[in-house]
Amino acid sequence: MDFTTVLFYIFALLLTVSGLKVITSRNPVASALFLVLAFFNAAAIWMLLQAEFLAILLVLVYVGAVMVLFLFVVMMLDINLDVLRRDFKRFVPMATVVGAIIVIETALILWHGYGATVQPVRDTTAAVAGAADWSNTRLIGKIIYTDYIFAFEVAGLVLLVAIIAAIALTTRHGKDSKRQRVSDQVKVRAQDRVRVVKMAAEKESPAEPETVAGDAGAGKNS
């Protein structure tokens, strides 16, 4: 067993432990931090497999952007843990059934799926020598936009639907909320937008001081 294999087992063990802590931790912030640790371990495994582009992409996109935003939202929200525990207990039977189905399907694939599709070992020396001239990023781009173009477009459509759904769920319409009526704005003409009104300037003349003083003296004599 060489040093690379030892590193692989270490990172795989840390990835498994951090993944379990994500779903078993009661504190949402701790779960998010364990998820960040899981992403780092997965990136390290990608580096061992010489997939540098995927490793850097995992760190920059998920750890640097998505998880920072997720941590910010979790720490800003006031999450009631009692409600979460009550809902968790309610969905335990369904989660157990779904988990058992997934485990059975995975076991069937591991035991019988690979054996039915075993291909004879071919000489891959020429393929490796030809791929040495290609960069990792270029190979991924060529495969995505040729062999998996349909799956790539479906993934983009799913992300678009997720964005629209998030906007629709977070939009709240209150009684005093102001809205724009595009139809009324389109119907407005140029001469209706600004109206110039001419008004005569009116200015009140100030009271004369002598008259005011005379009235004050008459009031004292009376």
Instruction: Say if residue 54 is in the same domain as residue 88.
Output: no
Kindly report whether the global pTM for this prediction surpasses the value 0.75.
no
- Residue 44 CA to residue 55 CA, distance in Å, equals 7
Q: Considering only CA atoms, which of 21, 46, 44 is closest in space to residue 33? A: 21
Burial class (CB within 10 angstroms; exposed 0-12, middle 13-18, buried 19+) of 140? middle
Q: What is the DSSP letter of 207?
A: P
Token couple for 171: 């939009």
Instruction: Say if residue 146 is in the same domain as residue 159.
Output: yes
Token couple for 26: 């009661």
Token couple for 209: 């001081």
pLDDT of amino acid 153? 93
Tell me, yes or no, whether 95 lies in a domain.
yes
- Residue 11 CA to residue 213 CA, distance in Å, equals 99
Instruction: Say if residue 65 is in the same domain as residue 37.
Output: yes
CATH classification of the domain holding 12: 1.20.120.1200
How many domains are there within the chain?
3
Instruction: Say if residue 99 is in the same domain as residue 165.
Output: no
Tell me, yes or no, whether 217 lies in a domain.
no
Tell me, yes or no, whether 163 lies in a domain.
yes
Spell out the per-residue pLDDT of the chain, length 222, in tens.
788 889 999 999 999 999 999 888 877 788 888 988 999 999 999 989 888 888 888 888 888 877 777 777 777 776 666 666 666 777 788 888 998 999 998 888 888 765 555 454 444 444 444 555 567 778 888 888 899 999 999 999 998 998 898 888 777 666 666 777 778 878 877 777 777 777 777 766 666 655 555 555 555 555
Tell me, yes or no, whether 208 lies in a domain.
no
Instruction: Say if residue 69 is in the same domain as residue 95.
Output: no
> Containing domain of residue 30, as a range?
1-79
